[in-house]
Amino acid sequence: MHSKAIGLCSNLCSLLGLPLPDLRADEDGALCFTVAIKEIEIGFVADERVSADHIQYLVHFGSAPDEREPLVLRELLHANLLSQQPGAPVFARDPQTGEVVLAGLLQLGACPAEQVLAGLVELVDSAISWRNTHRVVQNVQAGDAARRLLDRR
């Protein structure tokens, strides 16, 4: 169970020089783990009830300043609309924390971990640029937000 997700986690941690986290499924059977790249947290959720061949990722962009939040959220909705490729990641807002996340799915085993990491680094660079543009605040742990986002399905 979750062998492909555990393999991805192991390979990513090895490439990043990180210790392997404690990988145990939660009470619902989902496997959640978090890695940090350039101080940006990326949460992963593998839930075989949803798909045995995919893992959800959530890149944590941060919270927009309160005074600019409506404008920022409008920009993110526009980005979602313009990103109409099948399987394209989408922006979401965690209702409990207000944090913006980019959520997508990876097909497990479809490409080597080095290629997955390269794609994640591109997303992390986008998150860093977005944070600098919007002067965002970091306020939650990625694993907690990943679990909450999955629970809202």
Name the phi and psi angles at 143, rounded to 5. Answer: -60, -40
Residue 149 has pLDDT above 50, yes or no: no
Instruction: Give the number of other CB atoms < 10 A from CB of residue 41.
Output: 22
Q: What is the pLDDT of residues 13-54, one digit of tens each?
A: 999 999 998 888 888 889 999 999 999 999 999 998 888 899
Are the C-beta atoms of 59 and 40 separated by less than 8 Å? yes
Q: What is the pLDDT of residue 134?
A: 73
3-state secondary structure the chain: CCHHHHHHHHHHHHHHCCCCCCCCCCCCCCEEEEEEECCEEEEEEECCCCCCCEEEEEEEEEECCHHHHHHHHHHHHHHHHHCCCCCCCEEEECCCCCEEEEEEEEECCCCCHHHHHHHHHHHHHHHHHHHHHHCCECCCCHHHHHHHHHHCC
Nearest to 137 by CA among 43, 72, 58, 45: 72
Q: In the prediction, which pLDDT does 63 show?
A: 87
Residue-wise pLDDT tens digits, 65-82: 888 888 888 988 888 888
Of 44, 106, 99, 42, nearest in space to 76 by CA? 99
